[in-house]
């Protein structure tokens, strides 16, 4: 029984050495987060406040070091105040 546990511990330690600790190129790649906003059409004015909130969130998160040590890149899509476009964006 003790030998089996010892083997499991040795295998676990060897596996840890096989896992790359970090890839510097992966750390610098930002998390890309998409959202829809109405930059034109009937919801343009209220959407401007939402867009400002998204941008504020992005800057505050990045000032604190990002998510999991990676920066955040916010990608905003113009849905033109069209419900069908919003639905298409959310499915993709």
Whether this model's pTM surpasses 0.75: no
Query: Residues 76-91: pLDDT tens digits?
Result: 999 999 988 888 888 8
70-to-4, 25, 33, 62, 81 alpha-carbon distances in Å: 40, 11, 12, 8, 32
pLDDT above 90: residue 73 = yes
Give me the residue spans of the domains in the chain.
25-91
């Amino acid at each position: 029984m003790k030998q089996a546990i010892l083997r499991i511990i040795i295998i676990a330690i060897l596996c840890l050495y096989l896992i790359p600790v970090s890839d510097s190129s992966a750390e610098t790649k930002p998390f890309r987060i998409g959202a829809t906003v109405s930059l034109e059409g009937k919801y343009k004015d209220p959407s401007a406040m939402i867009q400002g909130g998204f941008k504020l969130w992005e800057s505050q998160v990045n000032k604190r070091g990002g998510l999991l040590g990676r920066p955040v890149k916010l990608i905003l899509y113009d849905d033109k105040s069209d419900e069908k476009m919003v639905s298409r964006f959310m499915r993709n």
